[in-house]
């Protein structure tokens, strides 16, 4: 029996039992669509969260001075920790092989009043040195960021987020070079940053509404404590763990700031990469769930295909006996049954894949770009899903198909009389 005859036989069989075929293929159809969609959105969520973290600053560790605790001889309990810029600079020099940067940073406790062009808004104020924009992943859309000269000379210059500039000046273009007043003191706006999106990881103090000035200017003009540090932004070098970098910094700062380096209450720290680890762990668990759910779905689909062929072979026992009596080989009849299963399962899987891909594309087009996770479709995932579906179909059809070998011609023909 040639391939053309196989195809004709499959066509006739499917035409005779359309409802049975649809019922047996439904599990494969929906299972394939669901697996592709879940995998696409799972990968999209992981990459979206990684992008959100990178907007704040890749690999950043935040350190906040707090108060000392008991249990360390020679150190009093409950003493507020004060960090100084000279000590921070020393720690950065001594640990240059472990940390890429250690930035002194002031952040206003409350939003400051900013007045410009007859409009007033309250904005979050951030003060650091000239490296702040680079390490916090700010891109300048208009103008420039303050530089080392601005920091040393304590110039009254400011850089503003795009959303804040639009609210105060009407547009980011119109804001550049305009005067503004921060807490009643005069400043010049020298730069406006590019938008950073919704920033779900930093929604309390979004960068798009942030006002940035040199930390020396904040101390000189806005009353921040001279030479003090409100908090630190630590950026470990590649290959250096956050814990190792923090331990090195505390070992340098502790003796100079009155706390024991192992006092975990003296300086609190938070590693943003820990969130990334949680995201990756969630993604791994999600993939395991999808894998288990996909396996169960494929097994259900396999059971449906097996039942379809058992019912079909029972109805066609006489036809098969006649074919064997006329010289048809059992291997040929088995191959025809398996081929029919591959056609049914493969067609259902292809239609399911098409539905999954179309649903991903449709849902992605409805969501604003960059605001929500977008599905990331992997050709490998689609290929593996289709291959697994075909393999399950072959295995599911093989057991019923082997019954063809056990059909006795004389018994089957007598039973049909």
pLDDT in tens, 309-333: 677 666 666 666 666 666 666 667 6
| pLDDT bucket at 219, cuts 50 / 70 / 90 | very high
Residues 292, 256 share a domain: no
pTM: 0.69
When mean pLDDT is compared across 37-41, 104-108, 185-189, the lowest value belongs to 37-41
**Which comes out higher in pLDDT, residue 285 or 188?**
188
pLDDT at 264 over 80: yes
Closest CA to 273 of 18, 62, 48, 5: 62
User: Is 343 inside any structural domain?
Assistant: yes
Which phi and psi (to 5°) does residue 354 adopt?
-65, -40
Indicate the residue among 236, 253, 288 that finishes a domain.
236
Closest CA to 65 of 45, 79, 47: 79
Q: What is the pLDDT of residue 251?
A: 95
Does an H or E element contain 192, and which? strand 185-193
Residues 349, 288 share a domain: yes
Residues 6+ apart with CB under 8 A from 47: 373, 376
Residues 192, 172 share a domain: yes
Q: What is the pLDDT of residue 228?
A: 87
Residues 122, 16 share a domain: no
Indicate the residue among 186, 219, 236 that finishes a domain.
236
Q: What confidence tens digit (pLDDT) does each residue in 62-83 have? A: 999 999 987 788 888 889 999 9
Assess contact for 214 and 174: CB atoms under 8 A. no
Residues 196, 283 share a domain: no
In whole angstroms, give the CA distance from residue 382 to residue 398.
24
| pLDDT bucket at 172, cuts 50 / 70 / 90 | confident
Q: What percent of the chain has pLDDT over 70?
A: 82
Is beta strand 228-229 parallel, antiparallel or unpaired with respect to 267-271?
Answer: unpaired
What are 85's two structure tokens? 């810029």
Q: Which domain holds residue 247?
A: 67-95+239-265
User: Is 61 inside any structural domain?
Assistant: no
Mean pLDDT of the chain: 83
Residues 228, 127 share a domain: yes
Assess contact for 103 and 232: CB atoms under 8 A. yes
Angstrom CA distances, 353 to 35, 176, 201, 348, stand at 9, 51, 33, 9
Residues 246, 230 share a domain: no
In whole angstroms, give the CA distance from residue 267 to residue 251.
12
What are 161's two structure tokens? 């987020």
| pLDDT bucket at 377, cuts 50 / 70 / 90 | confident
Residues 132, 36 share a domain: no
Q: What is the pLDDT of residue 211?
A: 95
Q: 114: burial class by Cβ within 10 Å (0-12, 13-18, 19+)?
A: buried
User: Is 206 inside any structural domain?
Assistant: yes
Strand partners, 236: 99
Is beta strand 185-193 parallel, antiparallel or unpaired with respect to 231-236?
Answer: unpaired
What is the average pLDDT across 227-231?
Answer: 89
Looking up tokens 């159809």 gives 29
pLDDT at 290 over 70: yes
pLDDT at 347 over 80: yes
Residues 406, 310 share a domain: yes
Assess contact for 352 and 32: CB atoms under 8 A. yes
What is the average pLDDT across 228-251?
Answer: 93
Domain count of the chain?
Answer: 3
Residues 404, 365 share a domain: yes
Residues 318, 411 share a domain: yes
Assess contact for 125 and 108: CB atoms under 8 A. yes
Residues 289, 227 share a domain: no
| pLDDT bucket at 285, cuts 50 / 70 / 90 | confident
Q: What percent of the chain has pLDDT over 90?
A: 38
In whole angstroms, give the CA distance from residue 165 to residue 175.
6
What is the average pLDDT across 88-93?
Answer: 95
Q: What is the pLDDT of residue 236?
A: 93
What is the CA angle 404-407-412, rounded to 5?
A: 130
CA dihedral over 168, 173, 179, 182, signed as positive or negative: positive
User: Is 272 inside any structural domain?
Assistant: no
Q: What is the pLDDT of residue 155?
A: 96
Q: What is the pLDDT of residue 198?
A: 67
| pLDDT bucket at 2, cuts 50 / 70 / 90 | low
Query: Strand, coil or helix: what is 248?
Result: helix
């Amino acid at each position: 029996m040639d391939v053309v005859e196989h195809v004709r036989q499959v066509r006739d069989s499917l035409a005779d039992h359309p409802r049975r075929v649809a019922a047996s293929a439904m599990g494969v159809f929906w299972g394939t669509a669901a697996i592709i969609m879940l995998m696409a959105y799972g990968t999209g969520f992981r990459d979206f969260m990684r992008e959100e973290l990178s907007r704040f600053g890749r690999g950043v560790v935040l350190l906040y001075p707090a108060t000392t605790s008991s249990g360390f001889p020679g150190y009093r309990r409950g003493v507020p920790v004060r960090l100084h810029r000279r000590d921070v600079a020393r720690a950065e020099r001594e640990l240059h092989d472990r940390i890429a940067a250690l930035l002194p940073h002031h952040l206003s406790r409350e939003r400051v009043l900013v007045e410009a062009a007859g409009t007033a808004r309250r904005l979050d104020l951030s003060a650091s040195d000239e490296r702040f924009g680079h390490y916090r992943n700010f891109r300048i859309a208009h103008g420039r960021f303050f530089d080392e000269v601005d920091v040393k000379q304590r110039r009254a210059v400011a850089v503003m987020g795009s959303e804040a500039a639009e609210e105060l000046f009407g547009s980011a273009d119109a804001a550049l070079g305009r005067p503004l007043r921060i807490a009643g003191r005069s400043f010049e706006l020298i730069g406006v940053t590019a938008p950073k999106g919704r920033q779900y990881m930093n929604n309390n103090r979004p960068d798009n509404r942030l006002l940035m000035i040199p930390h020396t200017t904040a101390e000189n003009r806005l009353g921040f404590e001279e030479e003090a540090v409100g908090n630190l932004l630590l950026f470990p070098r590649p290959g250096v763990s956050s814990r190792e970098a923090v331990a090195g910094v505390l070992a340098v700062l502790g003796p100079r700031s009155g706390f024991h380096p192992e006092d975990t209450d003296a300086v609190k720290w938070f590693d943003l990469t820990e969130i990334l680890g949680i995201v990756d762990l969630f993604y791994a668990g999600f993939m395991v769930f999808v894998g288990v759910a996909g396996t169960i779905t494929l097994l259900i689909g396999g059971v449906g295909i097996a039942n379809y062929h058992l019912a079909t072979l029972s109805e066609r026992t006489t036809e098969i006996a006649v074919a064997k009596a006329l010289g048809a080989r059992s291997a040929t009849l088995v191959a025809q049954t398996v081929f029919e299963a591959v056609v049914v399962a493969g067609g259902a899987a292809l239609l399911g894949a098409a539905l999954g891909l179309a649903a991903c594309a449709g849902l992605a087009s409805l969501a604003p770009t960059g605001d929500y996770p977008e599905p990331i479709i992997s050709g490998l995932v689609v290929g593996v899903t289709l291959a697994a579906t075909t393999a399950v179909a072959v295995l599911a059809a093989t057991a019923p198909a082997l019954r063809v070998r056990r059909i006795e011609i004389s018994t089957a023909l007598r039973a049909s009389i």
